[in-house]
Amino acid sequence: MPGTPAAAGLDPAWIGRLVSGVRALPEGRAPWCAGAVVLAGRGPVVAAEAAAGWAVRYRAYDPGRDRGVELPRDRWEPVRVGTVFDLASVSKLFTALVAVQQAERGRLALDGPVGAHLPAVAPGITVRDLLRHTSGLAPELPFHAHRDRDRQLALLWAEAAAPTGGPYGGYRYSDLNLIVLQLLLERLTGRRLDALVREGITGPLGMAGTAYGPLVPQGVAATEDQRRPWAKADRGMLRGRVHDENAWALGGVAGHAGLFSTAQDLAVLCRTLLDGGAYGGVRILAPASVAALLDPPGLGFAVDQRSFMGELAGRGAAGHTGFTGTSLVLDRATDTFLVLLANTVHPRRRDGGSAPRAAAATCLARAVAAA
């Protein structure tokens, strides 16, 4: 529910710094993003909710001048608190939740071999390995270069049979882990991943602003003027179409990317997890399943990653980031949550780093400490 920092047990001055810091992100000569939304709270209270910058500002990117080509000023569209963003890898969290739901129902064994259901996968790789990125699978494959589904699967199964990404058991972040997990879930349930997410998560929780694309562009933040050589495909300015080229090539519904959402919807997800798997009288996970997801080292969730969690890290904070500029963090130790959504890749992808994410999280941590 909306409230004040004081009502949430948070220091108003530090929450003010959090909001002012996010509002500054689209400004200056080298802005971190075109636009952003932040939502932060503690317990059931939303203590901060703000929007800044532009959901759409550019019509293209000019590589010769290394700058965006702006739309006429009257066609710029401001970010609003309800603007929909491409979540990029934050989508992985939803795939992880679906997997744990299926484990609860006895359809999936977290420590069972994936190869029992997908025979092309190397012996020894378990569902837990996929969720913890310890399978040894390569970080990615060029699915975008092969729009034929059979060719894409041939690439995936060749890698899954003999992983090249690193030693089995060692951590190596890989989109392929969540793509293989998607195929496993679809094999076991007979349902597509988008249906599993809708039926198991977004529908019961009333997350009406969360869906896989393509979406009607209105109300959606634009991402990139996607063209070679800086991108992997020539698709033009994207808005409501998934930014990740491999997710696009796989049809827009992929285990590693493809979801779009709002800050309000992600706050509902955070509160659901902080409250042990229930929200508004609806339960989507048992408390033990939530603990399995969030307890170190996490299943699908990153835990205590100071690079984007700032001073919230250290006591079991969990969350994820997305390449397009998105992130969420929830901290059971302080009962706080932070959602920061931005379109850092508008009009062209670049690595802006996670310093603004960490700074926002640190403000929230200090708002707890100073209250």
Residue 252 has pLDDT above 80, yes or no: yes
Per-residue pLDDT reduced to its tens digit, 192-206? 999 999 999 999 999
% of the chain surpassing 90 pLDDT: 97
Per-residue pLDDT reduced to its tens digit, 329-349? 999 999 999 999 999 999 999
Residue 162 has pLDDT above 80, yes or no: yes
Q: Could you tell me if 335 and 301 are in contact, meaning their C-beta atoms sit under 8 angstroms apart?
A: no
Which is higher by pLDDT, 251 or 28? Answer: 251
Q: How far is CA 58 from the centre of its chain?
A: 24
Local confidence band at 362 (pLDDT 50, 70, 90 cut-offs): very high
Q: How far apart are CA 337 and CA 38, in angstroms?
A: 11
- 35-39, 165-169, 210-214, 232-236, range with the lowest pLDDT: 165-169
Local confidence band at 184 (pLDDT 50, 70, 90 cut-offs): very high
Give me the DSSP letters along 257-318: S-EEE-HHHHHHHHHHHHTTSEETTEESS-HHHHHHHHSTT-SSSEES-HHHHGGGTTS--E
The per-residue pLDDT for 319 is: 98
In the chain, the amino acid numbered 234 is: D
Mean pLDDT across the chain, nearest whole number?
97
Local confidence band at 299 (pLDDT 50, 70, 90 cut-offs): very high
% of the chain surpassing 70 pLDDT: 100
The per-residue pLDDT for 352 is: 87
Q: What three-state secondary structure class fits 59?
A: strand
Local confidence band at 351 (pLDDT 50, 70, 90 cut-offs): confident
Please tell me whether the overall predicted TM-score, pTM, comes out greater than 0.85 for this model.
yes
**59-71 burial, b if ≥16 CB within 10 A, otherwise e?**
bebeeeeeebeeb
Local confidence band at 354 (pLDDT 50, 70, 90 cut-offs): very high
Q: Which two tokens stand for residue 337?
A: 């949550």
Residue 239 has pLDDT above 80, yes or no: yes
Q: At CA 312, angle to CA 100 and CA 1, rounded to 5?
A: 70
Local confidence band at 371 (pLDDT 50, 70, 90 cut-offs): confident
Residue 1 has pLDDT above 80, yes or no: no
Residue 290 has pLDDT above 90, yes or no: yes
Q: How far apart are CA 324 and CA 100, in angstroms?
A: 26
- 216-220, 224-228, 350-354, range with the lowest pLDDT: 350-354
CA proximity to 137, closest of 118, 148, 325 = 118
The per-residue pLDDT for 112 is: 95
